[in-house]
Every structure is written in C-alpha cells, then in structure tokens.
C-alpha cells in the first residue's frame, strides 16, 4: 500500500506496474478535488514539536472557558465552529498535538522569554465541522509550550 497522502491504490491489483498504480492514485486524488500535499522541511516545523506541551488549564480555564474575561469569545467560537468545550478538551488537545508535524510553523520573534511561533491548522470537531485554528507557542530552550489557541479564518500551510 502507498504511504503517501491521498487515495491508496492496492498493491494487489494484478498486472499494473508501480508507475501505473501511482498514476491511478494521482487521477483519483484529482477527481476528489485534491492535490499533492506540500512538503515541509524539518526546519519549517515547530521546534521540538514531538514534546510540545499543552497545559490543560490553558484550554479548560482560558480558551474553552465561557466565564473567563479574555477567553470567553474564544470559547464561544470553539463551540460554534467545532463543538469543543471544557468537557471534550482532551480531544482538542490530542488533535493539535497529532497535527503539529503536518503544518508549517511561522517564527514571530523573541520578546525576551523565548522564540515565539504560530501554527495554523485545520481541525475537525466533534460536531462534524472543521475550521482553521491558530495555535501560538513559545520555545524557551527547555520546552515548547502552547500560549494561545483560537478559531481563525487563515489557512495553514500543510505538509
């Protein structure tokens, strides 16, 4: 089976060369309205994304908290756009971590506490909808940690 993104053309199709199978896969991808995904280099990804930290409280007491003075608008947007709230924050957290290696990180400078990055990614919600979500991060040399997260209209550059 192909390890590439997009439709998979089974290896057990008899009589087709690998090139013919790849051509079938590309045609199926095109018919589905897709295109080949962009390829990102390792330096385009969030530093230490494999160990990136998302503190539970950043989600439960801020981004998904309708009572928080600064976070309430984010919480309403998450619930309307994707169906995420405090009760299912772990699924949001899992999905962000899972998708980090597939989206470009943009460096946004250093304000003295560490390098700042943003990663915009397309997330699927428990309500069956999907939306672009901006995640902001700080890399202080010891850890890469989420600093903000919210539904956004921008699209991320996918790997």
Q: What residues in the chain have per-residue pLDDT under 50? A: 1-9, 35-36
Q: Where in the sequence of the chain do the CATH 3.10.450 domains occur?
A: 42-152
pTM: 0.73
C-alpha–C-alpha distance, residues 25 and 156, integer Å: 25
- At 34-46, the pLDDT tens digits run 544 556 788 899 9
- The CATH number of 42-152, from 3.10.450, 1.10.1060, 2.60.40, 1.10.3470, is 3.10.450
Determine the Cα–Cα distance for residues 15 and 20; give it in Å rounded to an integer: 9
Per-residue pLDDT at 42: 86
């Amino acid at each position: 089976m192909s390890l590439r993104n997009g439709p998979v053309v089974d290896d057990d199709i008899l009589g087709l060369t690998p090139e013919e199978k790849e051509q079938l896969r590309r045609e199926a991808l095109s018919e589905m309205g897709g295109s080949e995904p962009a390829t990102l280099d390792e330096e385009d990804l969030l530093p230490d994304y494999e160990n990136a930290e998302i503190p539970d409280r950043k989600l439960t007491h801020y981004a998904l908290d309708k009572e928080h003075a600064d976070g309430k608008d984010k919480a309403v947007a998450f619930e309307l756009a994707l169906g995420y709230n405090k009760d299912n924050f772990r699924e949001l957290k899992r999905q962000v971590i899972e998708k980090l290696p597939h989206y470009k990180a943009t460096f946004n400078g250093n304000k003295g506490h560490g390098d700042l990055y943003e990663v915009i990614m397309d997330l699927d919600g428990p309500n069956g909808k999907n939306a672009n979500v901006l995640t902001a991060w700080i890399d202080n040399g010891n850890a890469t940690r989420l600093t903000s997260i919210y539904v956004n209209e921008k699209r991320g550059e996918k790997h």
